[in-house]
């Protein structure tokens, strides 16, 4: 069963910055191309940081240079230090959150939620940036027709994965909600069917009313 990965939905041809890119140039790129952040690359095109519009605005808000005070919270001291810089390398966040090309859409969504970011640089095995995935890109997984989802339920889940006769199960899909009614051979098949269908791209919810002829859960315990 093939699901969409980050590389399927990401934006390629990424706008990037170098450590030495001046603040004025960063602001120009962000304004002209309407992007909120830029991956910062080293000389080998590897990801070393991310500079955001918030970082550039931070510079604007600290026009009077000063040294950070020891009693200030660590985040505030870091903000003061970075605001003193005039290049991407001085302004950027040096612990960028990125994601690998083969990662799943749910993995990307969880990473964005956990770190409170709207987009993620996508990196290959050598940590080189090959794209950017945004919240908007993740929505593409849900833009699938009900007919396509139903075809995957019958063909991918029941025939190819479960090796079960799909003619004994009635599958209806409405606005991404899959309803399955019918009978399968084993209890384990009924339980697996619901799990697998939930993993299909575009599925919003599953209503499973599947009966079974053999309760193989008890057989497995006795073995």
Q: What is the pLDDT of residues 127-167, one digit of tens each?
A: 899 999 998 888 887 888 899 999 999 999 999 999 888 88
Q: DSSP string covering 42-82, please?
A: -TTSBEEEEEEHHHHHHHHHT-S--PPPTTS-HHHHHHHHH
Cα–Cα separations (whole angstroms), residue 151 to 93, 107, 147, 214: 45, 25, 6, 26
Which helix or strand (DSSP H or E) is residue 38 part of?
strand 37-41
* Average pLDDT for 175-192: 93
pLDDT band at 108; cut points 50, 70, 90: very high
Q: What are phi and psi of 37, to 5 degrees?
A: -160, 155
| pLDDT of amino acid 181 | 96
pLDDT category of residue 64 using cuts at 50, 70 and 90: very low
Q: How confident is the model at residue 96 (pLDDT cuts 50, 70, 90)?
A: confident
Task: For domain 146-222, give the CATH number.
Answer: 3.30.1340
- Architecture (CATH level 2) of domain 6-141: Roll (3.10)
Strand (E) or helix (H) holding 152: helix 146-152
> What is the pTM assigned to this prediction?
0.67
Q: Do the two domains 6-141 and 146-222 of this chain adopt the same fold?
A: no
Question: What is the percentage of the chain residues whose pLDDT exceeds 90?
Answer: 48
How many residues would you count in the chain?
223
Every domain of the chain and the residues it spans: 6-141, 146-222
* Cα–chain center distance at 220: 37
Query: 204, 177 in Cβ contact below 8 A?
Result: yes
94 alpha-carbon distance from chain centroid: 21
Please compute, for residue 64, the number of CA atoms within 13 A of its CA located in the half-sphere on the CB side. 0
């Amino acid at each position: 069963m093939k699901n969409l990965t980050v590389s399927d939905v990401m934006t390629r041809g990424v706008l990037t910055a170098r450590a030495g890119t001046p603040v004025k140039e960063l602001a120009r790129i962000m304004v002209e191309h309407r992007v909120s952040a830029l991956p910062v690359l080293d000389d080998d095109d590897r990801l070393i940081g991310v500079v955001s519009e918030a970082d550039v605005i931070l510079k604007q808000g600290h026009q009077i240079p000063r040294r950070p005070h020891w009693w200030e919270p660590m985040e505030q001291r870091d903000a003061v230090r970075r605001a003193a810089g005039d290049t991407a390398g001085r302004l950027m966040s040096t612990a960028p959150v990125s994601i690998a090309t083969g990662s799943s859409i749910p993995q990307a969504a969880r990473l964005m939620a956990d770190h409170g970011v709207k987009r993620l640089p996508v990196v290959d095995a050598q940590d080189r940036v090959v794209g950017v995935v945004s919240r908007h890109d993740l929505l593409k997984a849900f833009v699938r027709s009900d007919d396509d989802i139903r075809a995957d339920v019958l063909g991918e889940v029941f025939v190819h994965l479960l090796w079960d006769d799909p003619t004994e199960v009635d599958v209806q899909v409405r606005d991404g909600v899959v309803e399955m009614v019918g009978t399968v051979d084993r209890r384990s098949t009924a339980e697996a069917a619901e799990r697998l269908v939930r993993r299909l791209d575009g599925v919003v919810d599953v209503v499973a009313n599947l009966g079974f002829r053999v309760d193989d859960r008890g057989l497995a315990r006795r073995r």
